Amino acid sequence: SRKQADRWVNSTCGYCSVGCGMQLGVKDGHVVSVRGNRAHPVNAGKLCPKGLAEHYTIEAEGRARFPLLRKNGQLERVNWDDAIGTMVEQFRAVQCKYGPESLGIISTGQLVTEEFYALGKLVQLGFGTRNYDGNTTLCMSTAVAGYKRSFGSDGPPGAYEDLEHADVILLIGANVAENHPILCTRLEANQSKTLIVVDPRVTKTAMMADIYLPVKPRSDLALINGLLRIVIDEDLYDKSFVASHTSGLEDLRESLTPYTLDYAAQITGLEPELIRKTALLYANAKAAFIGWTMGVNHSTKGTETVNAINNLALITGNIGRKGASPFSITGQCNAMGTRETGFTSGIPGYRKFESEMDRREIARLWNISAERIPTQRGLAYPDIIEGAVAGKIRALWILGTNPLVSFPNIDVLKHALGNLDFLVVQDGFHPTPTTELADLVLPAAIWGEKEGTYTNSERRVSKVNAAVAPPAEARSDFDIFLAVAEHLGCREELFPDWREPRDAFDEWRRVSAGRLCDYSGMTYELLDQSCGVQWPYPIGEKSRATASRRLYSNGQFETDDGRARLLSTRWEPFPEQPNSEFPLILNTGRTVEHWHTRTKTGAISILQRMSPRAWLEMNPKDAQQLNLQAHDRVEVISARGRVSKIELRITEIVAPGQVFLPFHFAETNANQITQSAFDPISREPNYKQCAVRVERS
């Protein structure tokens, strides 16, 4: 049968940041199945429903197959040379007329690391615009900003293995059971842990908890500050670690004055005893792990919340040890690759725009003048969109992301895209809501069709391999970038002798040498043999390639004085409070069957059958008050718009006064009602709370 593969190709899952190893079964030039790779250190052969159905993405309906250029209002087929020639000509014309920074670029956490590395050079040095960011700003720029402020550098310090060694695991705003399912198998392997889950919604992860803390929406920062105050007041902190490896204790202590147990209980809605019990459990643990995801990151106070989490780990010495870590579980399969190699919020290798030494070093490595390296980052994703609204960004290149579904308060984005002189969308699928608006569509290869590496949440670099060729005329993003560089006339300067992703990886290894994210000891051959290696892995590293590695084990941080910073933070209510017109608080999130805007999973029939449409969760008390019944079709309305004909689920999973809507579905797009509110430090959107009302459709 067609399902009996002739050969198996090792690769890594292209959905979430767990980074499961898998094998693609190939028969007669088709990928006919996938299976988990038992030798892979992350998942030992297991896969979740999305991973198990991933091979269907390759031959799914709606793959982009040919370059398409808009002529007289219609997208028409053109050859690659004309497509890229037109793109370069249009971008250059806009830059000539309005200045180099009138061009914006928005990429994605779906590219392989080699592509990020190439794209950063192409954008910043080839096109000469700093206005480049990724859709990763919509999911984990907050964790990046929080790590940089506390530790002097980005980089989740721990390893997945810590889930098996911690005696206390505190998960905040992290529904791993739906969003990172294979991590639950690591959690279950630890039979002696106490699992504490903080979430306003009784998620599947909350159902696994020993202690569940049903906090009020966006009260997490008050909770953590309350925990910190108990730990310090009751003298439960690690004085030796704090004295030797941190700074800022006295300012932190002072800033915690308002966070009495009663105050924390009042803000969070939790019983005071439950808060105190949590503080004592965490502080007295031999090894405590704190994990978080979008519940923390998607907030106007996200970065400060990450800093408060880091404070808690630092004052109890829960960092750099087996089982002990403040751990941001990232979103996309290669969100980490963009953090390390991306040329967006920093210079590749966690170098800083502001540091002359860093600029000189990278210029030397690239054999260019240091004056060409920007001294400041450009606009972040939401500010690129605001720039387009204001007419400052006039041309945009969007790669591997579908903002017409994923960007908050979608009308602002529509306005921005409508203002552009030229929009290029490069994607593996067409039509999508975003490609339909493009002036030029560039068809890209997807997972299974190209080679490179992904880095997962625990900083483990795994190989991605091509099992089949891309459809029709689609090309890998890597090949597209080299072709664009050729047209721009900068290929030999920026990518000397590059022919394949391995060339980019080898240059990146040299560029990362000596940095915190040191890849220099890794080779494609080592990654193929070992299935995955955590950085730092410098040349000459003696430990076993697959061994778990932790950052800051020596107590030395990446700050100027080598000490981690204990930072003061302040809780504030979320920006749009419920009121008489919009009395309910909307929370948005995900479901295990789907990936982001469903460009891929929406085309896979088994996943569609399991989760065919959006739903709204509402507490029975609110449903009764509104005279609504289960399965009614309802409208959710905010000050910005409405989403109609959503099936109602009446459930105590959500508390009275709150409703929940998954954001995957373009037809019932949650981002018609979410708001334009962003973390002032990370620029990540506050997707999680806005005021709405619900009516029968």
Residue numbers at the binding site for ligand SF4 (CB under 6 A): 13, 15-16, 18-20, 43, 47-48, 50-51, 180-182
Task: Give the up-direction half-sphere exposure of residue 486: CA atoms within 13 A in the CB hemisphere.
Answer: 13
Instruction: Give 493: exposed, middle or buried? Use CB within 10 Å, 0-12, 13-18, 19+.
Output: middle
Rg (alpha carbons) of the chain, rounded to whole number: 24
Please, what is the minimum distance in Å from the beta carbon of residue 265 to ligand SF4? Answer: 36
User: Number of helices (H) and strands (E), helices first, in the chain?
Assistant: 26, 26
Please, what is the minimum distance in Å from the beta carbon of residue 308 to ligand SF4? Answer: 28
Please choose, from the candidates 331, 350, 334, the residue with its C-alpha nearest in 3D space to the C-alpha of residue 508. Answer: 350
What is the DSSP code (8-state) at residue 378? -
592 vs 694, beta carbon nearer ligand SF4: 592
298 vs 460, beta carbon nearer ligand SF4: 460
In the bound state, the residue with its beta carbon closest to ligand SF4 is: 51
Both tokens of 412, joined, read 């602002």
18 vs 285, beta carbon nearer ligand SF4: 18
13 vs 437, beta carbon nearer ligand SF4: 13
458 vs 518, beta carbon nearer ligand SF4: 458
Please, what is the minimum distance in Å from the beta carbon of residue 482 to ligand SF4? Answer: 29
- Give helix 356-366 / helix 501-512 axis angle, nearest 10°: 140
Task: Give the up-direction half-sphere exposure of residue 346: CA atoms within 13 A in the CB hemisphere.
Answer: 20
181 vs 217, beta carbon nearer ligand SF4: 181
51 vs 152, beta carbon nearer ligand SF4: 51
13 vs 566, beta carbon nearer ligand SF4: 13
Check if the beta carbon of residue 172 is closer than 8 Å to that of residue 142.
Answer: no
| Cα–chain center distance at 450 | 21
13 vs 395, beta carbon nearer ligand SF4: 13
Residue type present at position 620: P
Please, what is the minimum distance in Å from the beta carbon of residue 654 to ligand SF4? Answer: 25
Both tokens of 603, joined, read 């085309």
**Residue partners of 501: CB distance under 8 A and separation at least 6:** 112, 114, 115, 450, 451, 452, 476, 478
18 vs 405, beta carbon nearer ligand SF4: 18
46 vs 149, beta carbon nearer ligand SF4: 46
Please, what is the minimum distance in Å from the beta carbon of residue 8 to ligand SF4? Answer: 16
Please, what is the minimum distance in Å from the beta carbon of residue 369 to ligand SF4? Answer: 41
Please, what is the minimum distance in Å from the beta carbon of residue 509 to ligand SF4? Answer: 24
Return the SS3 of 646: strand
Please choose, from the candidates 230, 236, 311, the residue with its C-alpha nearest in 3D space to the C-alpha of residue 263. Answer: 230
Alpha-carbon span 427 to 110, nearest angstrom: 10
Alpha-carbon span 336 to 460, nearest angstrom: 9
135 vs 225, beta carbon nearer ligand SF4: 135
Alpha-carbon span 505 to 189, nearest angstrom: 35
Alpha-carbon span 122 to 105, nearest angstrom: 11
**Residue partners of 345: CB distance under 8 A and separation at least 6:** 133, 141, 144, 377, 380
Alpha-carbon span 692 to 400, nearest angstrom: 31
How many other C-beta atoms lie within 10 A of the C-beta of residue 683?
Answer: 20
**Residue partners of 629: CB distance under 8 A and separation at least 6:** 623, 648, 650
382 vs 452, beta carbon nearer ligand SF4: 452
What is the DSSP code (8-state) at residue 651? -
Please, what is the minimum distance in Å from the beta carbon of residue 334 to ligand SF4? Answer: 11
Q: Where are the beta strands (DSSP E) in 546-591?
A: 564-565, 584-589
Residue 682: which region, alpha, beta or left (left: phi > 0; alpha: psi -120 to 50)? alpha
